[in-house]
């Protein structure tokens, strides 16, 4: 049977998901994944699954149907490879849940046959929906297909297939929503079915891109009032509604460029905003004559050119010649220049490493040589404007050349596979010495304003807005409190970012609505003695609802648990060092440990027994200058962020389980795991 998966495509004027047929990449994905599986190419399998979510899900369905009808060693092996890869990439057990469900179906033929027939009907209706959407766009067809999808979803749920229950619910939702129905849309019904799609996706731990679109559309409709109150009675007497307070007319303010040439001027809620330059973004140069771009600017910005062994400069017009020299003194140095066709000013702070340098507390050599030069860079550009008489400074912390732009995400060293770190602009309001994340809504002088940049930040447009508010209060359980913890708004608060760690230590006043974790940091110590780590959202999408006048607790932290993977051989068990990660009580992730890499003790026991063996510490990199027999370095900097693969002896052929535990971690205290 040909599978036609749902693919998310956003309508031009809304955040509503629509249903379309994807280009057929499936055959190529299936072929490439099988080839990588046969040779045990784990990184290639991860790359394929990460870049082909819909095709991977389609393969899950195909394997599931084949297994339910009659499994084989080949199907089992491919299913397990796909399950392991999905878990490592997306940090959920979606594939494993599908495997268990369809394994059970293999022993329940009546239920298996009914579910399969229902799946065939579902795909038949999907074809009908797509045909109508690309052809007659007949409302009666949408109504009929939508009703069938709704019935299918309910029956799939009764049969225990929450994946297809979610897909059919989305089908019922899209046939009632604005993209296909326009003025005939039934937004209350659409909201109901988007919500059912989200619930069923959650039950199979499938948090891929289409799920996120369904969730956003559901939240938008709830925020617009279509998910709570019953439909109004058209015959009921009406009373004139009290109009909400009108927002003020927008004001446009010109900005003035100011170079921020010191890291000490403001406290910035950023992981890299300190003098530990070894973690800054890098412009990687080769030998004399080489050039490289800034990470976020890419080819739209200037490049850095290495003009001599000990000289470099900024090639502003990208003609291969340095237009502005960069003094390589070994000190923190700020430089500014005009950027882009509009010649807006921009700048950065940079440094090069030294011979006797430190990385994760380990001695190393970061000094440029004849074949390489690393230029460590951080933002130094800001623009200042006045909002209703209060100075507001916008810092281009994501270094994309625009002031007040959307956050960017990057896969920095030290992050778990598939996990990205956001870089985001910040703003300093008034005389405060603590920056905030840039946000669509800003509180300035006790009033709320909707703010947006014009012409990449050459101007700021702002208008006073009447917002209802509540408060957020951080409840973090652990030996060290976050240095900053930023939540982002969802639905109608998209584009809003607020740091719940405040200067006043009081609960933070925010607009009412839903929020989720964006990024945070734990930090202790100063300068070279600093220990720190990132806090990033996990896979469960936990939300915090702020109601008018009410306080909402943001609960994170202990108990902390280790995630890890193992690989068994005949007489050894290997704990895979790169797989070791830490999650908290809200499934939040703790990443990029600096000067405090977790080093748990590993206890191994026979599977099913009650007592573990004598704990032994996992290995970590202790010497970055250690060399192999051929003279090359044994380790690189990327190896220092996590433990390294460590083997533990076991009895020949014995099935075993492992547990990880660390007492008194510098930032987190006790961390442990279950035996697995």
Domain end position, chosen among 441, 466, 491 = 466
Residue 471: both structure tokens together = 């408060």
- Cβ atoms of residues 22 and 58 within 8 Å: no
Q: What is the pLDDT of residue 7?
A: 36
Structural domain contains residue 238: no
What tens digit of pLDDT does each residue of 139-181 get? 888 888 888 999 999 999 988 899 999 999 999 999 999 888 8
Q: What is the pLDDT of residue 17?
A: 54
Domain end position, chosen among 498, 526, 557 = 557
What whole-number distance in Å separates Cα of residue 104 and Cα of residue 102?
A: 5
- The angle, 0 to 180 degrees and rounded to 10, between the axes of the packed helices 209-223 and 162-174 is 50
| Strand partners of residue 544 | 515
Shared domain check, 472 and 420 = no
Shared domain check, 360 and 318 = yes
What whole-number distance in Å separates Cα of residue 277 and Cα of residue 337?
A: 22
Structural domain contains residue 494: yes
- Cβ atoms of residues 303 and 319 within 8 Å: no
Those residues whose C-beta lies under 8 Å from the C-beta of residue 648, and which sit 6 or more positions away, are 572, 573, 574, 575, 602, 604, 616, 658
In angstroms, the first-to-last Cα distance of the chain is: 37
Shared domain check, 392 and 348 = yes
Q: What is the pLDDT of residue 249?
A: 87
Number of H helices, E strands in the chain: 11, 41
- Cβ atoms of residues 607 and 292 within 8 Å: no
pLDDT band, very low/low/confident/very high, at 576 (cuts 50, 70, 90) = very high
The region of weakest confidence among 12-21, 151-160, 526-535 is 12-21
- Cβ atoms of residues 381 and 348 within 8 Å: yes
What tens digit of pLDDT does each residue of 473-512 get? 999 999 999 999 999 998 889 999 999 999 888 999 999 9
Q: How many residues does the chain have?
A: 676
| Strand partners of residue 557 | 477
For residue 90, pLDDT over 90 is answered with no
- Cβ atoms of residues 628 and 619 within 8 Å: no
Shared domain check, 565 and 547 = no
Q: State mean pLDDT over 627-646.
A: 95
Q: State mean pLDDT over 445-465.
A: 95
Of the segments 87-91, 203-207, 296-300, 457-461, which one has the largest average pLDDT value?
Answer: 457-461
Structural domain contains residue 233: no
Burial annotation 228-257 (CB, 10 A radius, 16+ → b, else e): eeeeeeeeeeeeeeeeeeeeeeeeebebeb
Structural domain contains residue 420: yes
Q: Considering only CA atoms, which of 585, 575, 609, 604 is closest in space to residue 670?
A: 585
* H/E element, 39: none
For residue 85, pLDDT over 80 is answered with yes
Shared domain check, 550 and 640 = no
Q: What is the pLDDT of residue 515?
A: 93
Q: What is the pLDDT of residue 108?
A: 76
pLDDT band, very low/low/confident/very high, at 39 (cuts 50, 70, 90) = confident
pTM, two decimal places: 0.66
Shared domain check, 219 and 294 = no
> 588, exposed or middle or buried, with CB in 10 Å at 0-12, 13-18, 19+?
buried
Question: What percentage of the chain exceeds 90 in pLDDT?
Answer: 62
Structural domain contains residue 257: yes
- Cβ atoms of residues 189 and 147 within 8 Å: no
Q: Is the bond leading into 141 cis (omega within 30 degrees of zero)?
A: no
> 419, exposed or middle or buried, with CB in 10 Å at 0-12, 13-18, 19+?
buried
What whole-number distance in Å separates Cα of residue 308 and Cα of residue 320?
A: 13
3-class SS of residue 474:
strand
Structural domain contains residue 664: yes
Domain end position, chosen among 557, 581, 603 = 557
For residue 243, pLDDT over 60 is answered with no
- The angle, 0 to 180 degrees and rounded to 10, between the axes of the packed helices 162-174 and 187-203 is 160
**Mean pLDDT value across the chain:** 88
Q: What is the pLDDT of residue 18?
A: 45
Shared domain check, 551 and 595 = no
For residue 232, pLDDT over 70 is answered with no
pLDDT band, very low/low/confident/very high, at 541 (cuts 50, 70, 90) = low
Backbone φ, ψ for residue 504 (5° rounding): -80, -10
What whole-number distance in Å separates Cα of residue 625 and Cα of residue 639?
A: 12
Structural domain contains residue 383: yes
| Strand partners of residue 374 | 284
For the beta carbon of residue 76, count every other beta carbon within 10 angstroms.
14
What tens digit of pLDDT does each residue of 397-427 get? 999 999 999 999 999 999 998 899 999 999 9
Shared domain check, 363 and 323 = yes
Question: What percentage of the chain exceeds 70 in pLDDT?
Answer: 93
Count how many domains the chain has: 4
What whole-number distance in Å separates Cα of residue 15 and Cα of residue 649?
A: 53
Q: Considering only CA atoms, which of 560, 531, 569 is closest in space to residue 651?
A: 569
For residue 237, pLDDT over 50 is answered with no
Shared domain check, 419 and 545 = no
For residue 561, pLDDT over 50 is answered with yes
pLDDT band, very low/low/confident/very high, at 246 (cuts 50, 70, 90) = low
For residue 195, pLDDT over 80 is answered with yes
- Cβ atoms of residues 479 and 470 within 8 Å: no
* H/E element, 5: none
Shared domain check, 495 and 456 = no
Which CATH number belongs to the domain containing residue 534 in this structure?
2.60.40.3540
For residue 16, pLDDT over 70 is answered with no
- Cβ atoms of residues 462 and 405 within 8 Å: no
Q: Considering only CA atoms, which of 534, 559, 558, 565 is closest in space to residue 643?
A: 565
Those residues whose C-beta lies under 8 Å from the C-beta of residue 250, and which sit 6 or more positions away, are 461, 462, 463
What whole-number distance in Å separates Cα of residue 245 and Cα of residue 247?
A: 7
Q: What is the pLDDT of residue 60?
A: 84
- Cβ atoms of residues 375 and 312 within 8 Å: yes
Shared domain check, 550 and 591 = no
What whole-number distance in Å separates Cα of residue 465 and Cα of residue 209?
A: 32
Comparing 265 with 236, the larger pLDDT belongs to: 265
Structural domain contains residue 615: yes
Q: Which domain holds residue 426?
A: 245-466
pLDDT band, very low/low/confident/very high, at 3 (cuts 50, 70, 90) = very low
The region of weakest confidence among 95-104, 120-129, 274-283, 484-493 is 95-104
* H/E element, 12: none
Q: Considering only CA atoms, which of 81, 200, 62 is closest in space to residue 123?
A: 62
- Nearest 10 degrees: Cα torsion 601, 607, 613, 615: 0
What whole-number distance in Å separates Cα of residue 676 and Cα of residue 663?
A: 19
3-class SS of residue 333:
strand
Which CATH number belongs to the domain containing residue 624 in this structure?
2.60.40
Which residue matches tokens 């530990």? Answer: 276
Strand residues in 490-634 grouped as ranges (E): 497-499, 508-511, 513-524, 531-536, 543-546, 551-557, 560-563, 566-568, 572-575, 581-583, 589-594, 601-606, 616-617
Q: State mean pLDDT over 627-647.
A: 95
Shared domain check, 72 and 212 = yes
């Amino acid at each position: 049977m040909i599978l036609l998966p749902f693919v998310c495509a956003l309508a031009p004027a809304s955040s509503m998901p629509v249903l379309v047929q994807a280009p057929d990449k499936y055959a190529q994905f299936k072929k490439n994944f099988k080839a990588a599986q046969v040779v045990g190419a784990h990184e290639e399998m991860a790359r394929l699954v990460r870049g082909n979510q819909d095709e991977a899900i389609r393969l899950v369905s195909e394997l599931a149907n084949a297994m339910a009808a009659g499994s084989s060693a080949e199907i089992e092996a491919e299913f397990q490879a796909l399950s392991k890869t999905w878990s490592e990439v997306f940090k959920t057990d979606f594939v494993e849940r599908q495997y268990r469900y369809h394994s059970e179906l293999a022993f329940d033929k009546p239920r298996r046959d009914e579910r399969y027939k229902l799946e065939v009907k579902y795909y038949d209706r999907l074809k009908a929906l797509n045909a109508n959407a690309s052809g007659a766009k007949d409302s009666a067809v949408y109504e009929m297909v939508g009703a069938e999808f709704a019935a299918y979803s309910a029956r799939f749920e009764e049969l225990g297939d929450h994946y297809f229950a979610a897909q059919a619910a989305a089908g019922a939702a899209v046939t009632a929503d604005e993209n296909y129905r326009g003025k005939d849309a039934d937004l209350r019904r659409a909201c109901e079915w988007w919500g059912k799609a989200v619930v069923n996706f959650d039950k199979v731990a499938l948090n891929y891109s289409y799920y996120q679109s369904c969730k956003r559309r559901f939240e938008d409709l709830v925020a617009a009032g279509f998910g709570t109150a019953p439909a109004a009675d058209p015959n009921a007497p009406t009373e004139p509604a009290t109009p909400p307070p009108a927002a003020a007319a927008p004001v446009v303010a010109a900005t003035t460029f100011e170079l921020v040439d010191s890291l000490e001027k403001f406290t910035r809620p950023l992981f890299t905003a300190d003098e530990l330059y070894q973690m800054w973004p890098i412009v990687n140069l080769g030998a004399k004559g080489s050039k490289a771009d800034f990470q976020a600017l890419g080819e739209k910005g200037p490049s850095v050119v290495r003009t001599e062994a000990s000289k470099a400069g900024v090639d502003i017009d990208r003609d291969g010649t340095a237009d502005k020299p960069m003094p390589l003194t070994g000190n923190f140095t700020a430089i500014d220049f005009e950027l882009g066709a509009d010649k807006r000013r921009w700048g950065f702070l940079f440094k090069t490493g030294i011979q006797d340098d430190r990385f994760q507390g380990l001695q190393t050599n970061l000094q440029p040589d004849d074949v390489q030069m690393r230029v460590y860079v951080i933002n130094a550009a800001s623009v200042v404007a006045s909002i209703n008489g209060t100075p507001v400074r916008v810092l281009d912390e994501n270094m994309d050349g625009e002031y007040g732009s959307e956050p960017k995400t990057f896969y920095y060293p030290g992050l778990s596979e598939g996990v990205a770190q956001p870089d985001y602009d910040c703003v300093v309001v008034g005389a405060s010495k603590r920056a905030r994340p840039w946000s669509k809504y800003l509180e300035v002088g006790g009033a709320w304003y909707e703010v947006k940049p014009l012409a990449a930040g050459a101007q700021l447009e702002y208008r006073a807005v009447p917002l209802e508010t509540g408060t957020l209060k951080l409840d973090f359980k652990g030996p060290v409190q976050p240095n900053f913890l930023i939540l982002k708004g969802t639905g109608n608060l998209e584009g809003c970012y607020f740091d719940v760690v405040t200067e006043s230590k009081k609960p933070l006043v925010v607009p009412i609505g839903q929020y989720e974790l964006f990024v945070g940091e734990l930090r202790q110590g100063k300068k070279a003695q600093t220990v720190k780590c990132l806090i990033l959202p996990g896979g469960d999408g936990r939300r915090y609802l702020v109601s008018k006048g009410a306080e909402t607790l943001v609960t994170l932290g202990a108990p902390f648990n280790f995630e890890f993977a193992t690989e068994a051989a005949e007489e050894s068990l290997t704990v895979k060092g790169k797989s070791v990660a830490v999650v908290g009580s809200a499934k939040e992730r703790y990443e990029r440990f600096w000067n405090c890499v977790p080093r748990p003790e590993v206890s191994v026991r026979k599977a099913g027994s009650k007592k573990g063996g004598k704990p032994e510490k996992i290995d970590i990199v202790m010497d970055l200058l250690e060399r192999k027999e051929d003279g090359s370095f044994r380790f690189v900097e990327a190896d220092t962020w996590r433990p390294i693969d460590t083997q533990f002896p076991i009895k020949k052929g014995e099935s075993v389980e492992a547990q990880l535990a660390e007492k008194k971690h510098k930032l987190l205290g006790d961390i442990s795991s279950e035996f697995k």
